[in-house]
Structure 1
């Protein structure tokens, strides 16, 4: 599942059957692994961390509201703030930009990244490339380096 598919998904507290908002962003670790979801509802943003939520087909389920904490936005940890990072190979050549992270819905683990080679090229040549997270190394806040061959498809 692409992380962008979570954006806008309703968030429901299962113990109360109550809709509390929708996913407006994801919080990522520097390794691009998901740390939690940002839920927007009733004028505020709250964070629910892994593993306190379940990703369903049409909604995100939270067992109770105790796991929801106030959220202060930090761009370097934001999913939206991390998309568009340059992806370089081991020789420093740009191979594209990170356009999404790919999640395993059941485990909430990041398993890869989606690479865009540019809007026009993506449009003309079809879907973007997907690379295993094992082939990606993050250096610094805004630089992602593709290690090894990076030809692994997900």
Structure 2
């Protein structure tokens, strides 16, 4: 099987069965789905390492790149600029080798990691859930939102919700307090049992 990218469409060629499948790339993906993906040089097929995390500049909504770990280099962490990468279903494809001069300090993604597992509360005291993941656009690198988890039952029935991302000034505490206006912008992921059932009935 071989994978090629054509714009937003991923073509998967299965040489054993002689079939070609088109797989549309998702417009939004989770941080968790990128971690651990192999990083492959698209011209040589060489595996350059695996994705450890991604990083963005402080107070920015734009992904800058990925931290890539290569065990062959003693577990050294290197930086892969986003503009040199393509995020696929099963791998991150790279144009050329990683450049050693692009070493990054992992403090650059601390601002985002601080948001994970943080409780979100509306300014009037209403609990909106826990930040369970970070959502991004794989084509543009824009950080789209924060995934909110209320409880196992609510996640199953209604699906997790998405709080549009913006750089938050106060993130060092245990709780992220948002305004009423920010809370109104929270969107449903439409993946819960209730949403699936109602969509079928429409």
SS of aligned partner of 1:82: coil
Structure 1 residues without counterparts, runs of 5 or longer: none
Partner of 2:32: 4
Cα root mean square deviation, aligned:
2.8
**Which of the pair is proportionally richer in strand?**
1
| CA deviations over 1:60-84 (Å, ceiling 9, x no partner) | 0111225562232227526544311
The alpha-carbon deviation at position 144 of structure 1 amounts to 3.9
1:152, 1:38 → 2: CA distance?
29
Shift of 1:44: 0.8
Match of 2:164 among 116, 132, 138: 132
2:42 aligned to which of 3, 14, 20: 14
Asked whether the 8 Å contact 1:46–1:70 carries over to 2, the reply is yes
**2:121 maps to 1:91:** no
In the aligned structure 1, how far is the partner of 2:108 from the partner of 2:188?
A: 28
Report the structure, 1 or 2, having the larger helix content: 2
Residue 74 of structure 1: SS of its match in structure 2? helix
> Given the alignment, which residue of 103, 107, 111 partners 2:144?
111
Cα gap change, 1:13 to 1:47, in 2 (>3 Å): same
Greater Rg, structure 1 or structure 2? 2
Specify the alignment match of 2:51 in structure 1: 23
Misfit runs of 4+, over 6 Å: none
How big is each residue's C-alpha offset from its partner over 1:37-57, in whole Å with a ceiling of 9 and x where there is no partner?
Answer: 111112111111222211112
State the TM-score, normalizing by the size of structure 2. Answer: 0.62
Report the CA distance shift for 1:82/1:65 in structure 2 as closer, same or farther (over 3 A): farther
CA spacing shift, 1:123–1:95, aligned 2, 3 Å:
closer
Query: Structure 1 32/141 Cα, relative in aligned 2: closer, same or farther at 3 Å?
Result: farther
Choose which of 50, 58, 83 in structure 1 pairs with 2:82: 50
